[in-house]
């Protein structure tokens, strides 16, 4: 029975690779797609080059997320943190070197991200294959995993739809900003807001993954009260972290905007958007945890 975890991991990786191929085709033709959507020609060309260099990292990210879920299901949390910190430290050096000391320029940033993602994915994969603690849940590669692709899709598609709708809502804002007058300033401001929201959401995402795993495990063990307690604690932690982020954003919005742009105009305009962004971050922190728990309930 435990070996099915390894089978589901393999089938999930196969599904991820299939979808990554589909997405990479869209990324490769980013420029004509953006031009079709009436976006600025220079922005479209720059974005298209960025996405092409990010395509290799897409496959690594898909595999890595499946392995992380495999580990979280077994309450293994410290090794993934280590295997994230090591590539992060390497990524800083690689990104700086590729951007400043090669002819790639800004294209070095997505290439560095792809390299770092593959380092992390390979470290996690080697850990799962070699560690003795997974001898009952990882039985090696098996063609049996192909038989569970449709089974996994029935669970994965609704979950993916929820995540896509949430993320696409933010991305649509970037498209709309590109249609406004002074599109460069508008796109820059929206990009800062979206990235700020994404950084803040990473805290919630971590708690959401923990809540999803813990609630699912407790419900599977027949402990609904413990599942409720886990959800309540996670919600409180999420709101607390969101409030800390909001306070930092309220008093340090000029400093934060300076990390993205040296333009005084953008910094000034961002300060007017900070209050609305703070509200969004707070609400999103609650939604993220509830979404993770909902996925656990749906699977059960």
Q: What is the pLDDT along the chain (300 residues), one digit of tens a residue?
A: 677 888 999 999 999 999 999 999 999 999 999 899 888 888 889 999 999 999 999 999 999 999 998 998 887 888 888 888 999 999 999 999 999 999 999 899 999 999 999 999 999 999 999 988 888 888 888 888 898 899 888 888 888 887 788 778 777 877 777 777 776 788 788 888 888 888 888 777 777 777 777 777 777 777 778 777 877 887 788 888 888 888 888 888 888 888 888 888 888 888 888 888 888 888 877 776 666 555 555 455
pLDDT of residue 53: 95
pLDDT of residue 162: 78
Q: Which of 244, 235, 212, 241 is nearest to 286 (CA)?
A: 235
pLDDT of residue 81: 86
Give buried/exposed letters for 173-188 (b at 16+ CB in 10 A, else e): bbeebbeeeeeebbbb
**How far apart, in Å, do the first and last CA atoms of the chain sit?**
17
pLDDT of residue 72: 82
Distance CA 7, CA 4 (A): 5
For the CA atoms of 292, 170, 204, 6, the dihedral, rounded to the nearest 10 degrees, stands at 50
* DSSP SS3 for 81: helix
pLDDT of residue 289: 67
pLDDT of residue 293: 56
Residue 156, burial from CB neighbour count under 10 angstroms (0-12, 13-18, 19+): middle
pLDDT of residue 270: 86
Q: Which two tokens stand for residue 146?
A: 């192909």
Q: Which two tokens stand for residue 128?
A: 């799962």
pLDDT of residue 118: 96
């Amino acid at each position: 029975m435990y070996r099915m975890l390894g089978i589901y991991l393999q089938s999930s990786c196969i599904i991820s690779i299939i979808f990554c191929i589909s997405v990479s085709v869209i990324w490769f033709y980013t420029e004509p797609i953006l031009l079709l959507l009436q976006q600025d020609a220079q922005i479209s060309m720059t974005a298209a080059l960025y996405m092409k260099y990010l395509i290799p990292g897409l496959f690594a990210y898909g595999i890595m997320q499946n392995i992380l879920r495999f580990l979280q299901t077994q309450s293994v949390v410290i090794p993934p943190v280590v295997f994230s910190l090591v590539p992060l430290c390497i990524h800083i050096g690689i990104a700086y070197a590729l951007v400043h000391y090669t002819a790639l320029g800004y294209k070095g940033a997505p290439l560095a991200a792809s390299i770092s993602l593959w380092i992390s994915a390979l470290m996690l994969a080697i850990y799962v294959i070699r560690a003795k603690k997974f001898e009952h849940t990882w039985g090696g590669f098996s063609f049996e995993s192909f038989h569970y692709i449709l089974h996994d899709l029935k669970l994965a598609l609704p979950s993916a739809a929820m995540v896509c709708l949430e993320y696409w809502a933010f991305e649509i804002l970037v498209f709309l900003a590109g249609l406004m007058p002074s599109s460069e300033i508008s796109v820059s401001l929206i990009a800062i807001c979206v990235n700020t929201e994404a950084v803040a959401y990473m805290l919630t995402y971590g708690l959401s993954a923990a809540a999803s795993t813990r609630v699912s495990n407790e419900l599977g063990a027949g402990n609904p009260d413990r599942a409720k307690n886990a959800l309540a604690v996670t919600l409180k932690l999420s709101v607390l972290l969101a409030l800390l982020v909001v306070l930092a954003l309220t008093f340090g919005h000029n400093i934060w905007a300076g990390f993205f742009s040296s333009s005084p105009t953008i910094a000034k305009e961002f300060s007017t958007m900070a209050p609305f962004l703070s509200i969004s971050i707070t609400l999103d922190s609650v939604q993220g945890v509830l979404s993770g728990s909902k996925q656990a309930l749906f699977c059960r």
